[in-house]
């Protein structure tokens, strides 16, 4: 599960009215891992029919 605060950061939502928003600054590595987790979830639930699904491949060494 991905924390709501991290989802907000990935979606580039404003955190001005969020009490903890100013204290949470996720690192690029954390954002990247969450992005891959979301992509893996979508990919596992996508039904390929013809050429409409493009599979994502992680770069080597990640």
- State the Cα–Cα distance between residues 29 and 43, nearest whole angstrom: 21
* Count of alpha carbons within 13 angstroms of residue 30, beta-carbon side: 11
Do the Cβ atoms of 9 and 26 come closer than 8 Å?
Answer: yes
Show the low-confidence residues of the chain (pLDDT under 70): 15, 20-22, 47-50, 52-62
pLDDT tens digits, one per residue of 45-59: 776 666 766 666 666
């Amino acid at each position: 599960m991905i924390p709501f605060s991290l989802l907000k950061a990935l979606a580039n939502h404003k955190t001005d009215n969020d009490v903890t928003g100013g204290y949470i600054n996720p690192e690029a590595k954390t954002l990247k891992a969450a992005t891959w987790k979301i992509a893996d979830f979508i990919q596992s639930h996508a039904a390929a029919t013809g050429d409409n699904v493009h599979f994502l491949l992680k770069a080597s060494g990640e």
